[in-house]
């Protein structure tokens, strides 16, 4: 319970953390070159954006996590330039595992706004497992917003597999 609370606080704090996450590049083939080789090749494949069921798959070395449609149907992002991928692999793992965060911005996203509504998926960088899925709802005033938990149906399987 305490670890879950710490995890939630660390994830929600975002820029208030002692560091800022590193912004990552996702190449056209999904490879993320900035992640150290110790984790193995890391590939984030995203396709079918703008449809009712986009495809999202993260490979960390031989481990593969393909998000099921019960999760991807929450993603309303229309193009890859409306996704922000960040990560951290240099802080204390006892507080928060090394991770990759993918923010999928909602339609109406604008780079000039301070806050944009999004679905954020936090993946464990060692296992590829989903740590948390959260929704950020930006205020119309562009002065902030609030996080809301995302309820995933019990029959929705978020398991990873070996390639």
13 backbone dihedrals φ, ψ, rounded to 5°: -65, -30
pLDDT for residue 125 is more than 70: yes
Tell me which residue range forms the domain holding 109.
2-155
Whole-model pTM above 0.75? yes
SS3 (DSSP) at 68 = coil
Is residue 125 in a domain?
Answer: yes
- Which segment, 9-13, 108-112, 153-157, is predicted with the most confidence on average? 108-112
Do residues 93 and 74 make contact, with C-beta atoms less than 8 angstroms apart?
A: no
Is residue 67 in a domain?
Answer: yes
Q: What is the domain count for the chain? A: 1
Do residues 115 and 104 make contact, with C-beta atoms less than 8 angstroms apart?
A: no
Is residue 144 in a domain?
Answer: yes
């Amino acid at each position: 319970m305490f670890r879950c609370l710490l995890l939630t606080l660390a994830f929600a704090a975002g820029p208030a953390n002692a560091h800022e996450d590193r912004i990552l590049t996702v190449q056209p083939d999904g490879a993320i070159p900035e992640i150290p080789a110790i984790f193995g090749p890391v590939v984030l494949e995203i396709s079918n954006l703008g449809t009712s069921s986009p495809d999202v798959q993260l490979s960390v070395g031989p481990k593969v996590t393909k998000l099921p449609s019960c999760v991807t149907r929450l993603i309303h992002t229309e193009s890859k330039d409306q996704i922000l991928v960040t990560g951290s692999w240099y802080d204390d793992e006892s507080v928060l595992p090394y991770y990759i965060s993918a923010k999928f911005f909602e339609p109406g996203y604008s780079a000039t706004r301070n806050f944009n509504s999004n679905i954020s998926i936090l993946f464990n960088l060692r296992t590829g497992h989903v740590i948390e899925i959260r929704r950020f709802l930006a205020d119309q005033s562009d002065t902030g917003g609030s996080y809301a938990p995302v309820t995933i149906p019990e029959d929705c399987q978020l398991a990873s597999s070996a390639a």
